[in-house]
Amino acid sequence: MTRRSAVILATALPAVGGLAVAQRRGVFRSRDSELPVAKDEAEKKILGVLSEAMRTGDVYLEVPTSDGRMLRLLTEAVGAKVVVEIGTSTGYSGLWLLLALKSTSGKLTTFEIDRGRAAQARKHFAQAGVDQKVTVVEGDAHENVKRLKEPIDVLFIDADKDGYADYLNRLLPLIRPGGLILAHNFDQASEYGRVVRANPELETLVPGGSLAITLRKR
């Protein structure tokens, strides 16, 4: 991680933690739903698809906007080129990851068990103009992740909570030193929590919300 990336993370994490606490208390909800200001036309297009999907309800079990923004910030801060997502759903979180990958010239491989949701995600990726940067793999991710071979910069897990520890065990050998593992709804994945905190190669922080951030130490 570069010095600039470390400064970005140190600045962002307390703010995100405070925002998550405020969200649980029922304040700043309208602010939490706001999208960032687009830097260019490509970013504006992705944000437009995110906004329209939320407006029409064309999403399923999506991450909160604050968590989506955190996914983008962390992925871009570490300069990720290879990102793996377990649990595509309808592509909402994937679009946040792709906002970062647009800047880093990286790619996303995302796994989804439900054919209908995978199709919806592909539609959203195409609408956002990022379909060439993402591969959607349908079927049981516990089996399909065995095909992955190249080093992973960022792993995002948001699928069956009982399976989090298995995903971690299968993919940890591929996470590069200095890479990140991001787990959504961390509080619902108790076995994963025990495993990830007991591993001396890993450092885990949950900054007041539902997104656990784990660093694979160098």
Reported as a pLDDT band with limits 50, 70 and 90, residue 65 is confident
Domain region containing 46: 3-216
Task: State whether the Cα torsion 211-131-73-17 is positive or negative.
Answer: negative
pLDDT digits (tens, 9 = 90+) for 187-206: 899 999 999 999 999 999 99
* Number of compact structural domains in the chain: 1
Say which CATH number the domain at 149 has. Answer: 3.40.50.150
pTM, two decimals, is 0.83
Is the confidence at residue 22, as pLDDT, over 50?
Answer: no
Q: Residue 180 in 3-state DSSP?
A: strand
**pLDDT top residue among 80 and 62:** 80
Give Cα 21 distance to the centre of its chain: 20
Q: Which residues make beta-bridge pairs with 86?
A: 111, 157
